[in-house]
Amino acid sequence: MSTDHPVPLRGVQVIETALQTMPLSPGVYRMLDAKGDALYVGKARQLARRVVAYTKIAALPERLRRMVSETVSMEIVTTHTEAEALLLEANLIKRLKPRFNIVLRDDKSYPWLMLTEDHAFPQITRNRGARTRKSSLYGPFASAWAVNQTITAMQRVFLLRSCNDSVYSNRARPCLLHQIKRCSAPCVDRISADDYAGLVAQAKAFLGGKAGTVQQKLAAEMEEAAEKLEFERAAALRDRIRGLTYVQGSGTMNPASITDADIIAGHQLAGQTCIQVFFIRGGRNNGNRAFFPAHAKAEETAEVMAAFIAQFYDDKPPPPCVFLSHALPEQELIEEALSLKAQTFGTGRRVILSVPKRGEKATVVEHATTNAREALERRLAETAGQGKLLDALATLFELPAPPTRIEVYDNSHIMGTNAYGVMIVGGPEGFDKSAYRKYSIKGPITPGDDFAMMREVLERRFGRALREGATEGPGWPDVVVIDGGAGQLSAVAGVLADLGVDNVKLVAMAKGPDRDAGREWFHTQDKPAFQLPPRDPVLYFLQRMRDEAHRFAITTHRAGRSKALVTSELDEIAGIGPGRKRALLNHFGSARGVKRAGLVDLEAAPGISRETARRVYAHFHPGSRTAPRMDAAG
């Protein structure tokens, strides 16, 4: 009796089998490898007619032939329209990062300017991530610096408060911002609610692109004040007009003819592409950012830009106009998809993509293209230098090839408390911060036992990879660097040996006498410990990697310690759940503020009952007469 199992299908056979039940409707298809990871995500107006092309191996380029050969299964999702398929494709590519797609490596959220609407005197501040308060949002901005600059300018012109509500409610006299004429001090009644509402309305008009109207109104008010001989008020209005004129200053990247638009320009060199994005909102430049999507060398600039745009607007509302440096393939389809995306954000407007040929818009796109070229040239120069360092590192540690992934580990704790281990990652393109990981040490571990902490971190990191079968490829390290000497090296080698990991180069980097930088000793398993010359570029490179791991460990530890302090102070009080905890922290600003508050102050806090206030006060003041009485059973 035969016990042979059928050989799993692979490559073209998998695709031909999937085609037997594949519809002709619009949708998205995924090609998966043996581990279930996505190799490629594509969209089609008619799925079966698009996918059948992958069965004609002779007509495919080498890259796609390799992709088909690695395919062991396919998944499809049908949609109503091709535009919906394009949006779903972009979302899946951004989330799954398939190896054979053009992938936008951008996991950062963008800051927005926020005007709160749940307070009698709205606050102007910065918001990143989910909207947690009733508010109006303006943006996005390319960076925190860009939104902070705008907030500073807005304070100068519109005198809006930037302090949080707890600080506002506890002020007894104006703050420094009022003294330097950047706040109207509503906290101490230096302005009425109606007048402050007028400032807020002007700020919203300005942010909505009606700066000219606001300036005309301010000028009229200044003339009226001068006629009434109210010279102090006239001078204040004059200063606000000057500030508004400065903010409105036009230039190449503050174009007068563009109100709300994004400028997207691409430049390609040496098989890499830089895409530069400028955000123009309300006629102001909200900053710019350079992106370097991952793609095959054969991809054209327009194709890279098309994939980039679909993924870029996956989690943010597109503006009504996007000005481009290159015409895109399927440009009308992308317009339709972005218009659908705008509707999901509640704007309900049509999105237009265009390549301006003349005038101010063309000048702006040309400026963005120049920025893209210069950013790519800088990146290539830095990558070339990084490549030389990795070549030298391979020679130093006798690696078969320059490493593509270096992992550095470190721990941070105070006498074993709030212990964290961290991993940072570096490679040909410098630090890969999206690959950084932090590990809260679970123990049980003797306080201060760094060996045990490192063992737990490595067992969790490599144990998970082994369970998932990821023992090679982009996510697997070529070199592991730890902070320590021969003892740490031996301990880590034992951990990896127990796990069956034998294809990683281990390096222990010990500080020299008096912990002097430049006198480090390097320990490996295959040769005696050694030092590098004090000015060796490889030494500087490894020091920078170690210092980055140490910085990340310290930052992680401090954040964890702060969180633990807040948790331990308030969560130990019976009857204080997440809602009441949030109410207390919002009102008093911190757990320390709650601890210092008097009973009357606690009772006055929004959302806190008299009984809850007594319980909180009694927790921080044991033995107080205000403590709630407990019966004998309690």
- Whether residues 365 and 436 share a domain: the answer is no
pLDDT at 1 over 60: no
- Whether residues 364 and 416 share a domain: the answer is no
CA dihedral for 103, 268, 342, 317, sign (positive or negative): positive
89 assigned to some structural domain = yes
271 assigned to some structural domain = yes
Closest Cα to residue 262, out of 315, 220, 313, 322? 322
pLDDT reported for residue 633: 35
- Whether residues 343 and 410 share a domain: the answer is no
Lowest mean pLDDT among 417-426, 475-484, 490-499: 417-426
pLDDT reported for residue 449: 72
- Whether residues 371 and 508 share a domain: the answer is no
Lowest mean pLDDT among 18-32, 300-314, 341-355, 413-427: 413-427
- Whether residues 303 and 369 share a domain: the answer is yes
503 assigned to some structural domain = yes
pLDDT reported for residue 469: 74
- Whether residues 352 and 416 share a domain: the answer is no
- Whether residues 371 and 437 share a domain: the answer is no
Q: Which of 539, 562, 585 is the last residue of a domain?
A: 562
196 assigned to some structural domain = no
Could you identify the residue written with the tokens 């600059």? 149
- Whether residues 430 and 552 share a domain: the answer is yes
State the burial class of residue 549 (Cβ atoms within 10 Å of its Cβ: 0-12, 13-18, 19+): buried
CATH number at residue 450: 3.30.420.340
- Whether residues 414 and 278 share a domain: the answer is no
- How many domains does the chain fold into? 3
159 assigned to some structural domain = no
* Helical (H) or strand (E) element with 290: strand 284-291
Closest Cα to residue 598, out of 165, 170, 167, 119? 170
Closest Cα to residue 424, out of 292, 550, 558, 541? 550
- Whether residues 371 and 444 share a domain: the answer is no
Between the two ends of the chain, the Cα-to-Cα distance in Å is 73
Lowest mean pLDDT among 63-77, 152-166, 233-247, 523-537: 233-247
Each residue's pLDDT tens digit, 551-604: 888 887 677 665 655 555 677 777 777 778 777 877 776 677 788 788 888 888
524 assigned to some structural domain = yes
pLDDT at 8 over 80: no
Q: Which of 325, 356, 377 is the last residue of a domain?
A: 377
634 assigned to some structural domain = no
Q: Distance of CA 404 to CAs 47, 407, 472, 626, Å?
A: 37, 10, 11, 64
332 assigned to some structural domain = yes
Lowest mean pLDDT among 22-26, 128-132, 194-198: 128-132
- Whether residues 349 and 432 share a domain: the answer is no
pLDDT reported for residue 330: 93
CB within 8 A of 391, min separation 6: which ones? 402
Supply the range of the domain harboring residue 416.
406-562
Q: Which of 538, 562, 586 is the last residue of a domain?
A: 562
- Alpha helix (H) residue ranges in 159-300: 165-169, 176-179, 193-207, 211-227, 231-248
- Whether residues 444 and 346 share a domain: the answer is no
Separation of alpha carbons 412 and 553, rounded Å = 6
pLDDT at 59 over 70: yes
